[in-house]
Amino acid sequence: MDMIQDYLSLLHRLLPATLTNPLIQVITTLYGIYRTAYSHFSPLLTQVITQPDIASVLALVAILWFSLQIFGMLYRSVMFWVRLVWTLAKYALIIGVSLWIWNRGADGAIEDARGAAEFWTGEYQRFKGEAKAWKGAEEAQIRMQAQQRGYGWR
């Protein structure tokens, strides 16, 4: 910093006065902050350097803090993209349904929705019947195996 102060007096020859005065104020203010921070933190740095146990603990805490900050940034970025895709999907669905109703008309859209509901209700009933049949076949197979072994509940 001493070198900067040596050449600070030559600065008015290189720059106009409108830039020199604010620049000198900023440089002297920053130098004052630096000297104050150095006088406050130099005992702490001396103690950390002389006692490596404290330095290890402080380094571990700093590494943990930085890693948590990085994980927080990663989480926020992933959640941004998830929310963006989810929002775009909702808008696409709304636009798609609106266009379908616009092209088909309100009565046609209701007929299509009713037909789709009937179709999927029929499919549900069919799968429900198949599941019931599979369960009955499985129970019959268990009964048959129990009778072949000679024991069972009947």
Same domain, 56 and 88: yes
Same domain, 1 and 46: yes
Q: Domain of 74?
A: 52-104
Q: Which of 68, 87, 104 is the last residue of a domain?
A: 104
Are 34 and 60 members of one domain?
no
Does 36 lie in the same domain as 12?
A: yes
Residues 91 and 79 both lie in one domain: yes
Find the angle CA(136)-CA(142)-CA(147) to the nearest 5 degrees. Answer: 125
Whether residues 41 and 61 fall in one domain: no
Instruction: Specify whether the CB–CB gap between 54 and 45 falls below 8 A.
Output: no
Instruction: List Cβ neighbours of 34 (8 Å cut-off, separation of 6 or more).
Output: 1
Query: What total number of domains does the chain contain?
Result: 3
* C-alpha distances out from residue 25 to 12, 19, 32, 35, 40, Å: 13, 10, 11, 15, 23
Single-letter amino acid code for the residue at 78: V
pTM of the entire predicted model: 0.44
pLDDT in tens, the chain (154 residues): 566 667 666 766 777 777 777 877 888 898 899 999 889 888 887 877 777 787 788 888 999 999 999 999 999 999 999 999 999 999 999 999 999 999 999 999 999 999 999 999 999 999 999 999 899 888 888 888 888 876 655 5
If asked whether residues 9 and 35 sit together in one domain, one would say: yes
